[in-house]
Amino acid sequence: MIEIRARLPMKPHEQYARPAGELRLPFDLRQKSRQRARLTSGEEVAIELPRGQVLRGGDWVIASDGRAIEVVAAVESVLHVECDSPQALTRAAYHLGNRHVPVQVGDGWLRIGADHVLARMLEGLGARLAPMEAAFEPEAGAYGAHHRHDNESGHGGRIHEMGTGSK
């Protein structure tokens, strides 16, 4: 079994024109520094990264056999949150932050992992919710690494109508 112990500091240009494999993980597993996983090829890998290191979609890691592997943010169930005003969206973000909920921030929207309790709270604050399947890339935190991906500016993913919006 190959081991992954380091993230490459940036996408390699010349030595690795294309990744030699893909590691597709949802956000909760991209936060774990020690785990076993499978590449999309089915090959088992042992991940042993420094504690506190979060893998992001688009990151590249190096395997013990020298292969460069691309990390892909898996599509997962999220709630897409919009509000009628910037003030209302800020209020929703404040209440999510107060609960230490991982939040992806976009231009006029928020995304959180699907959670019926948080959905009710947000609806009570007047937010419109759209359950969807999308890659989830929450903020790294005030002291974490900050990098964004091009897909964070749009809605991305398929919206599934479930009638949970309150307005």
* Domains detected in the chain: 2-73 (2.60.260.20), 75-159 (3.30.70.790)
d(C-alpha 57, C-alpha 33), whole Å: 15
Element at 71 (helix H, strand E): strand 68-73
**For residue 142, what pLDDT is reported?**
67
Q: Tell me the pLDDT of the chain averaged across its residues.
A: 86
pLDDT at 72 over 80: yes
State how far the alpha carbon of 85 is from the alpha carbons of 28, 37, 69, 126, 143, in Å. Answer: 30, 42, 41, 10, 28
Full-model pTM = 0.78
Q: What is the average pLDDT across 59-76?
A: 94
Q: Bigger pLDDT: 128 or 20?
A: 128
